[in-house]
Amino acid sequence: REVDWVQCDGGCDGWFHMHCVGLDRAELAEEDDYICTNCKDADQSAT
C-alpha cells in the first residue's frame, strides 16, 4: 500500500500523511504550498 506524503512549507518542514491531514493527491499540485495546522496557529498568534 502506497502512502502519499506532503511537506509543510510553513517553517517546520514536517512531513505528514496526506490522508491524515485531509488532503488528496488530486487536490494539491506539486508547486502548491501546504501549511500545517501548527504553523498556521503559530502564524495567527504572532499577528
Task: Return the pLDDT at 27.
Answer: 82
CATH number at residue 14: 3.30.40.10
Task: Return the pLDDT at 46.
Answer: 67
* Domain span including residue 10: 5-46
Report how far residue 24's alpha carbon sits from residue 12's, in angstroms, rounded to the nearest whole number: 21
Record the pTM: 0.79
Tally the domains of the chain. Answer: 1
Task: Return the pLDDT at 47.
Answer: 63
Report how far residue 39's alpha carbon sits from residue 3's, in angstroms, rounded to the nearest whole number: 23
- Give the count of beta carbons closer than 10 Å to the beta carbon of residue 42: 14
pLDDT digits (tens, 9 = 90+) for 1-47: 788 999 999 999 999 999 999 998 888 888 899 999 999 998 877 66
Do the Cβ atoms of 4 and 25 come closer than 8 Å? yes
Tally helices (H) and strands (E) across the chain: 1, 2
